[in-house]
Amino acid sequence: MKKIIILMCCVFLLCGCGKIDDKDVIKELEKNINNKVGYKLDGTLEILNNDEVYVYDISVGHKKDDYYKVVLTNQSNNHSQVILKNDDGVFILTPSLNKSFKFQSDWPYNNSQIYLLDKVLDDINNDSEYKFKKTDNGYEITNKVNYPNNKNLVKEKIVLDDKYNITKIYVYDSEDLICMKMTFDDIDYSPKFSDNYFEIDEVMSTFEVEEVKETSIFEDTMYPLFIPDGTKLTNEERIKTDFGERVILTFEGDKSFLLVEETASVEEEFTIIPTFGEPYQLMDTLGVMTDTSLSWTSNGIEYYLISEVMSKDELIEVAQSIYELPVTSIK
């Protein structure tokens, strides 16, 4: 009888040891992500805006502790941009224009980043109320996110397989709608980096010279479909420049702002432009966000949106509403 009891206790203990809980899963994630080398990954980012979906191919390289290279290629036009962080600062490289913006920025430590695994892990650890779920194919963790430039994004769901590999991440807004989806195709936790992997010259050399070409002159003024209440278009000015044209749209009222559209120019020599602000991911391109402005390049047009009275959320809403349809005529 004594032997039977001992045997039953052993079986009970063995069964208990096989149960995986949230702490075990997070521990495995930490072991992989917080290794001594870093990681490389490839995947696809989808940004959803109502019925529109913008899709990017993404390649990330991260070397401990403070080096990052993120290559984003828009599938619709094959336009590539690179976010680079090295000893010299943070850069957004645009090979097609042969130029870069340089930031004095805390990126990527100042907000969530759906395609950076170490930041995803920080999101989990910073949320004491995260939700954990065992699924048929693995696990799910749902936690809060921190996007200070887009406060409408409130949580993310991280999907893992039964070997603790992150396969997908979904970011949701306050209405529980999916706004971003990241699919991870390959993750390497034992990467090898060349000595100049995070150098600007090396990054630019990976893009063929044929990519750097003149952009066409735009024919139609682009107008925002979203204009804050109590604000209207009061003036439109069109100016010839050395590279094409510049259009200045003046909106006056409760939320006054200025929108400048200009033919994008290709630099003859690679140019680095110092700037204040932070990199910001718009629907179809990377931009530069400050407290009072948002600038970006899309389809051969450079946009500058400036306001002393609008919030960042309002600047973003105006920027993401710019479309080919005209607003009401000036009165």
What CATH number is attached to the domain comprising 246? 3.30.200.100
For residues 253 and 199, state if they share a domain.
Answer: no
Domain contains 9: no
For residues 44 and 177, state if they share a domain.
Answer: yes
Instruction: Output the pLDDT for position 20.
Output: 79
CA-nearest of 109, 107, 179 to 150 is 179
Query: What is the rounded average pLDDT of the residues 211-216?
Result: 44
pTM assigned to the model: 0.86
For residues 28 and 125, state if they share a domain.
Answer: yes
Structure token digits, residue 160: 């893992």
Domain boundary residue, one of 170, 194, 210:
210
CA distances (Å), 214 to each of 15, 184, 220, 262, in order?
A: 66, 34, 18, 13
Parent domain of 97: 22-210
What's the mean pLDDT when you consider all of the chain?
88
**For residue 77, what pLDDT band results from cuts at 50, 70 and 90?**
confident
Instruction: Output the pLDDT for position 208.
Output: 61
Domain boundary residue, one of 210, 244, 270:
210
For residues 243 and 186, state if they share a domain.
Answer: no
For residues 232 and 287, state if they share a domain.
Answer: yes
CA distance 151 to 149: 6
For residues 178 and 271, state if they share a domain.
Answer: no
**For residue 3, what pLDDT band results from cuts at 50, 70 and 90?**
low
Query: What is the rounded average pLDDT of the residues 191-209?
Result: 89
Statement: residue 15 has pLDDT above 70 = no
Domain contains 49: yes
The SS3 assignment for 300 reads: coil
- E strands, 145-177, where? 153-161, 166-173
CATH number at residue 43: 2.50.20.10
Q: Count how many domains the chain has.
A: 2
CA distance 102 to 58: 21
Instruction: Output the pLDDT for position 69.
Output: 98
Domain boundary residue, one of 187, 210, 233:
210
More confident: 151 or 289: 289
Instruction: Output the pLDDT for position 214.
Output: 46
Statement: residue 47 has pLDDT above 60 = yes
Structure token digits, residue 173: 């807004």
Domain contains 80: yes
Determine what percent of the chain is predicted with pLDDT higher than 70. 88
Statement: residue 149 has pLDDT above 60 = yes
Instruction: Output the pLDDT for position 2.
Output: 52
Query: What is the rounded average pLDDT of the residues 141-152?
Result: 92
For residues 198 and 275, state if they share a domain.
Answer: no
Structure token digits, residue 26: 């997070």
For residues 195 and 127, state if they share a domain.
Answer: yes
Instruction: Output the pLDDT for position 218.
Output: 59
Instruction: Output the pLDDT for position 136.
Output: 94
Lowest mean pLDDT among 22-31, 173-182, 204-213, 227-236: 204-213
**For residue 230, what pLDDT band results from cuts at 50, 70 and 90?**
very high
Instruction: Output the pLDDT for position 212.
Output: 40
Lowest mean pLDDT among 17-21, 155-159, 177-181: 17-21
